[in-house]
Structure 1
Amino acid sequence: MKISIVGATGYTGAELLRLLAAHPVAEILYITSESQPDTPIHEIYPHLTRFCEKRLASLADLDAIATESQAIFIGLPHGHAMEVGRKATAINPNVKIIDLGADYRFKNFDIYEQWYKVPHTHRQAQAVYGLTELNRSQVKQAGIVGNPGCYTTASILALAPLVKAGLIDLRSIIIDAKSGVSGAGRGLSLGSHFTELFESVKAYNVAGHRHTPEIEAVLGELAGQELVINFTPHLIPVARGILSTCYAQLQEGVSPEAVDAAYSSLYGDEYFVRLLGRGGYPVTKNTRGTNFCDLGWHVDKRTGRVIAIAAIDNLVKGAAGQAIQNMNVMFAIEERTGLDNAPLYP
């Protein structure tokens, strides 16, 4: 299967290349970079030596990329992927698009424009939100998939069983999430400078992070009504990993056993969601380098709250791995293909 990656020099692009190099069905045709065209990718990322040594192309080659590829992964900043998707599907209506940015995540384009401050130029796209465990049947039929955000993936997977089963007060949801610094991207900035970050933890974008409306939209669809959440992200001094701790008030009379049943019902057959059960403590290190999401939950009888905890690798289940999982589903390839590896430990 012939695939290309537009925007291959960010951390997510490099992770796609690492994973796809071991994918038995995928053949990488083109990888692009507007800042470093014609550079061999292993000179930028030496860890890819012998796994991928292709030279970077540019979007000037989009006609060839769209014509020759069966699937295109887009790893560009928001506002750019929709133009690539619009042009690529016009060139080749059969090409599948998997966008790892935000441009195709929202059904309501007005919400996208409100939070991302750019006009949406591909409103005719019939994109599917690519949280595979919740939308697998739609992903199978999709021509364009909007890959979820990393914080979003962990938080929605943690809360979805509670929302879908009607076990919690939807007005009470609070999400406290922490991410490794790779989630900030490869660009240089003071906030991710070693001396600023080391031995420190900080909250940022309080009450204003762009993953907030994404989480609200997906959980609201599960609930059958609009909802509003509090979401606070934190940056922690590790390279990879997200730990999302989610709080909500249980509805009157909901038992701990009902909470257990909700998680088992939704995820009991899901390979990439590992249920640690009531009392479980997910750990980011236990998902490092993999497409797994580890989930645990606690029922606080004293306060009447449930606390759900999710751990993922932000670059894999939170980005590149989930994109490949979606690709496998879109092309009727066994879902674990290229992703069935054990975590790196310690």
Structure 2
Amino acid sequence: MRGVCDGPRMSAVPVIVLSGFLGAGKTTMVNHLLRSGARIGVVVNDFGAVSVDALLVAGSVDGAVRLGNGCICCTADADTLGDVLAGLVSPSVALDAIVVETSGLAEPVAVVRMITGSADPRIGYGGLVYVVDAENVDALRPDHPEIDRHVAVADLVAVSKVDRVDDARRDAVLAGVRSVNPTAAVTEVVDGRIDPSLLLDVPDRRDDGPRQLELADLLAADSHDHSGHSDHAHARYASVALTAGGALHPRRLAALLERPPTGAYRIKGVVRLPGRRGPLVVHAVGGFVDVAPHRGRSSAGDLVVIGAGMNTEEVRAVLDDLPVRDDESVDGRAEIAVTRYLRTGEGR
């Protein structure tokens, strides 16, 4: 992830697990993300062929498909996923994020455990996104109870095909998702068009200087929605930011990172703690926390909560309570609430 305020790129590349039952719309969503302007590595966690639009493919070597926008697509099964990720997070590849699209019959929790349990400091957890098919989920549930089990552990639930059902059915599906997972971020998706900023930091490469026009540029130019559902599909995405001139209370900050507000998908920022000499880059997805020393020149003090279906007033109240108050003393041991998440080998 990138830090806030033009901070430097963290060494860990966020790995986003994208799951959902067969036909839910995962590949369509991947194709949309590939048009975002970010350099994305796509890993298809299946034995089948690479499932991205043929139009995007510029060349293929040794199982890795290089796409026209600097993205890469690979196939992997459970035994090779770790090796594939290790290759994709190499600095020479320079990816902004990796999306692991699991098989429709896969167990996403196993993939998440592999990522969160990785000892490679270049691999970061970017969250579990589960796609629910609004048109067919009710018919699938009786024979596939694992759908609800997967929804229950998702960090973000994307309800797809909402344009194919009436309002009553859409509301019922959303209510069903909420009953299974009351705290996850939930967003509605039409034709795979999820806001990329909800999942990852999309870099602005418009001023990279003269270069050859890539296929991705043409795809991006032609990707504007003409179906009339664009506003509806993105209506639930929101972000709330805090700009703090001073230090944040470690215990209150840790509580936010570990137990994000309902609807929050990820939290990121560059912060200061009382008594600590250098600022820290913090990042949390679904309660999975990552902390690293801030190596950049930008000033610390910014924190952003990004999600879908959030009560922004409640989030604002939580953020406003983070700064250390003038009449408040902080125990020197309190910073452990945050610094215990520092990566192994990082200075304290």
TM-score for the superposition, normalised by structure 1: 0.32
Question: Whose relative contact order is higher, 1 or 2, with alpha carbons under 8 Å and at least 6 apart?
Answer: 2
Which protein has the bigger strand share?
2
Which protein has the bigger helix share?
1
